[in-house]
């Protein structure tokens, strides 16, 4: 990708040098965080477990690590700003004003309005504070363990999470939560539709970067490879488990690539209705 010179975004919140704290294990935190995101309640707080009991971070960022990660911080900032400028142009055309989300960089663990976030969860968006959270170490995992390399693969991750912010502004996430409460048996299906729409929205932004001349040869393929790498079937197979579509929460590799490509080809968020016929 070609963005030219740039610095840190004013919407970037850097917590990498702060101590991350959590009072429960990764597995328990993941379950409670998912429940909090789905139902809009702080299940972690309601569990009675107090965050901040056990430190899970080294409590600092060395100068060497800071210098090593700074180019990535700048790149993430450029993607963040470009994507938000894109949505600030697009959404008002369809009657919805856009306001910026914040992006939080952290290490190991951090407190969010949705509960305790940990790096093991991967990047996520919290609608309660309108912030995207990411541990930059995820990008190493994306390349080394998931086989998705390249700068546009990294950009896709940010664009997908900002897609959830767009859904939040449109009220889609709240509609999905209500639908899941009415029909718990279809909760996973609604989750998949929500995630696939965020992939499509990421593609819409990708199209805008192509039109602006930011894409390099092979970038689109990097984005599609990243979308495929985080498909539920690919992740389950990598973990040695059978790929049962009924358990999917994000969609198969083929679905994620298809909806990302649909957004990219059309550049039109109206083509991202994954809920049609639901």
* pLDDT score for 38: 47
Q: Residue 172 — left, alpha, or beta (φ > 0 → left; ψ -120 to 50 → alpha)? A: alpha
Q: What is the mean pLDDT of residues 115-127?
A: 93
Q: Taking each helix axis from N to C terminus, what angle separates 151-170 and 187-211, rounded to the nearest 10 degrees? A: 120
Q: Is residue 6 part of a domain?
A: no
Question: pLDDT (tens digit, 9 = 90+) per residue, 62-80?
Answer: 778 788 889 999 999 999 9
In this structure, of 65-69, 117-121, 189-193, the range with the lowest mean pLDDT score is 65-69
Q: What is the mean pLDDT of residues 146-172?
A: 94
- CA gap 243, 103 in Å, rounded: 32
Selection from 166, 145, 230 nearest residue 192 by Cα: 230
Is pLDDT above 50 for 58?
no
Higher local confidence (pLDDT), 145 or 74 = 74
- 248 CB contacts (<8 Å, ≥6 apart)? 188, 192, 232, 233
Residue 61 pLDDT grade (very low, low, confident, very high; cuts 50, 70, 90): confident
Is pLDDT above 50 for 27?
no
Q: Is residue 121 part of a domain?
A: yes
Is pLDDT above 50 for 253?
yes
* pLDDT score for 278: 57
Q: What percent of the chain has pLDDT over 90?
A: 63
* pLDDT score for 19: 57
Q: What sign for the dihedral angle of Cα 86, 143, 164, 59?
A: negative
The answer to whether 62 and 55 are in contact (CB under 8 A) is no
* pLDDT score for 47: 42
Is pLDDT above 90 for 49?
no
Q: Is residue 97 part of a domain?
A: yes
* pLDDT score for 33: 56
Residue 189 pLDDT grade (very low, low, confident, very high; cuts 50, 70, 90): very high
Quote the pTM value.
0.84
Q: Is residue 181 part of a domain?
A: yes
* pLDDT score for 52: 40
Q: Residue 218 — left, alpha, or beta (φ > 0 → left; ψ -120 to 50 → alpha)? A: left
Q: Is residue 78 part of a domain?
A: yes
Q: Which structural domain range is residue 250 located in?
A: 12-271
Q: Is residue 193 part of a domain?
A: yes
Question: To which H or E segment does residue 76 belong?
Answer: helix 63-90
Q: Is residue 232 part of a domain?
A: yes
Q: Is residue 3 part of a domain?
A: no
Domain count, the chain: 1
In this structure, of 48-52, 87-91, 132-136, 272-276, the range with the lowest mean pLDDT score is 48-52
In this structure, of 4-8, 51-55, 139-143, 160-164, the range with the lowest mean pLDDT score is 51-55
């Amino acid at each position: 990708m070609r963005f030219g010179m740039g610095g840190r975004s004013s919407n970037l919140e850097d917590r990498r040098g702060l101590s991350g704290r959590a009072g429960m294990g990764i597995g328990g935190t993941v379950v409670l965080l998912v429940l909090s995101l789905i139902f809009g309640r702080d299940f972690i707080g309601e569990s009675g477990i107090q965050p901040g009991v056990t430190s899970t971070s080294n409590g600092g960022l060395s100068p060497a690590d800071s210098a090593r990660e700074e180019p990535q911080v700048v790149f993430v900032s450029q993607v963040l700003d470009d994507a938000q400028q894109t949505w600030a142009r697009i959404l008002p055309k369809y009657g919805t004003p856009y306001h910026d989300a914040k992006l939080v960089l952290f290490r190991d663990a951090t407190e969010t309005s949705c509960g305790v976030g940990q790096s093991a969860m991967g990047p996520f968006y919290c609608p309660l504070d309108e912030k995207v959270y990411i541990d930059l170490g995820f990008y190493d995992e994306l390349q080394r363990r998931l086989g998705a390399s390249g700068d546009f693969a990294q950009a896709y991750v940010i664009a997908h999470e900002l897609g959830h912010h767009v859904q939040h502004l449109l009220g889609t996430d709240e509609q999905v939560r209500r639908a899941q409460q009415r029909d718990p048996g279809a909760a996973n299906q609604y989750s998949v539709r929500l995630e696939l729409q965020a992939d499509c929205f990421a593609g819409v932004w990708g199209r805008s970067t192509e039109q602006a001349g930011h894409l390099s040869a092979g970038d689109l393929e990097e984005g599609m490879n990243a979308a495929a790498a985080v498909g539920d079937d690919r992740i389950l197979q990598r973990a040695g488990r059978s790929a049962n579509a009924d358990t999917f929460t994000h969609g198969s590799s083929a679905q994620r690539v298809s909806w990302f490509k649909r957004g990219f080809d059309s550049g039109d968020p109206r083509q991202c209705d994954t809920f049609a016929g639901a």
